[in-house]
Amino acid sequence: MKKQYDVCLIYLSYVFEIIGLLAFKYFDNYISTHWITIGTDGNPIYGEVGLLYNLSVVIHYLFYFIMFVYFFMMIKKVVSKECIDLKRNTFLLFGLLVIDLVMYHFSIMTMFHYSSAITFMCVGLIINMVLYLKYRTYLINN
């Protein structure tokens, strides 16, 4: 059986989402309860906790990388006529929405403004919708 790399990318985005959000929440909690010193150049000095902020920023950009890889993987699968389970991919992408809803306390505007996972989810759903609309007669007949 062939590997389903598109599903692996979605699961990888789950892991990145949880790690990135927890790192940023811990960093945000730390800077709201502790004094932050300012260096001679005017920039804040976070110390070791600054690594959590850097981790969350790197994960933010990794989401865009995963999104582009997912997009090109779907194009490759369509060109090579491989089987794509759109239903499973759609449900897995909605899992990102559930994680973000819980982590952002159901604040939808905050979630759409700050979460790169929601951007990945929206692009993935648009890709799935376009593929479904293009091949729906083939899907209905088979």
pLDDT tens digits for range 67-83: 899 889 888 888 888 88
Asked if 44 and 123 count as a contact pair (C-beta separation under 8 A), the reply is no
* Residue type, position 31, single letter: I
- How does pLDDT run across 27-36, given as a tens digit for each residue? 888 877 877 7
| Rounded Cα–Cα distance for residues 44 and 50 (Å) | 10
Our separate counts of H helices and E strands in the chain read 6, 2
The domain locations on the chain are 5-141
0.85 exceeded by the pTM?
no
Residue among 59, 83, 76 nearest 135 (CA):
83
